Amino acid sequence: MVSGPIPADNFARLVVLLSKLPEHRPQLVVLPENVLCFGGDPQALQTIAESPNDGPIQRQLAALAKQFQFWLVAGSFPLRADDQVTASSLLFSPAGETIAKYDKIHLFDVDVDDATGRYRESDQYLHGATPTVVPTPLGNLGMAVCYDLRFPEQFRWMRQQGADVISLPAAFTQVTGEAHWHTLIRARAIENQCYLVAADQGGVHADGRETFGHSMIVDPWGEVVAELEKGEGVISVAMDSEKMARIRSNMPVSQHARFHCHWGKES
């Protein structure tokens, strides 16, 4: 996607793209970060924020999952948490049910040598607290968002919880994406012997911000099996579970690991 600031316009374009998906099932669809509102007034995200499991945007996304009969990782969008807002990614089932919610843990508080220069997501969002891994018919799904990609401990933790596929909605800047996007995604896939499904914003947005694009799917051997460089579009691959099992059997890195990631306090 190259999302704009008006949710209704983004949603209309999203429906057109989803209608082009192949028919094989079961199917997992991953949308980019800030898929329905991006590149406008920073306060717009606060305006459209909804309470968890309650609001027109969530109902529309749930209806899409049910209409097209797929599992939908709905990118990320703002959800209310008391008097604050989280950058949340939701998983909807083909029945239109909300199955999981992941609140972005690592917020992009970074200075970048581009036209925007200063990014401070923590001015708008509350840090998430807990990583997410959830069972689906395609295997166990780990959920991350954008800047999380730079923190391998989170991905190792998800693998330790059985992740087979990891979704990564993103809006990487052109500068940081050009430098590190491919390297980081392939590294996380190789380290954890998982599929990485990385849906990135890709183009110039209404506020002049440029995102890197290069949405891609990487297999557990680190091979880029599908990629879309810029603009709107759809990429799709058939998951090869046998190949993943063979890679994990031939090189059982999760069994060989001498260091393990723990989340939260030990009981």
- Residue-level pLDDT, tens digit, the chain, 267 residues: 999 999 999 999 999 999 988 888 789 999 999 999 998 776 777 789 999 999 999 999 999 999 999 999 999 999 999 889 999 999 999 999 999 999 999 999 999 999 888 999 999 999 999 999 999 999 999 999 999 999 999 999 999 999 999 999 999 999 999 999 999 999 999 999 999 999 999 999 998 999 999 999 999 999 999 999 999 999 999 999 999 999 999 999 999 999 888 886 543
Give all strands (DSSP E) within 66-179, no chain letters.
71-73, 77-81, 84-92, 98-103, 109-111, 118-120, 132-136, 139-143, 165-170
Q: Tell me the catalytic residues.
A: 33, 104, 146
200 has which bridge partners?
A: 170
| Contact yes or no for 223/193 (Cβ under 8 A) | no
Residues 107 and 91: their CA atoms lie apart, in Å, by 20
Give the residue from 162, 157, 154 showing the smallest Cα distance to 136. 162
Q: What is the pTM of this model?
A: 0.95
- For strand 71-73 and strand 98-103, is the pairing parallel, antiparallel, or unpaired? unpaired
| Superfamily of chain region 7-20+28-256 | Carbon-nitrogen hydrolase (3.60.110.10)
Sequence spans of domains, the chain: 7-20+28-256
Distances (CA, A) of 58 to 122, 143, 171: 23, 18, 20
75: left (phi over 0), alpha (psi -120 to 50) or beta: left
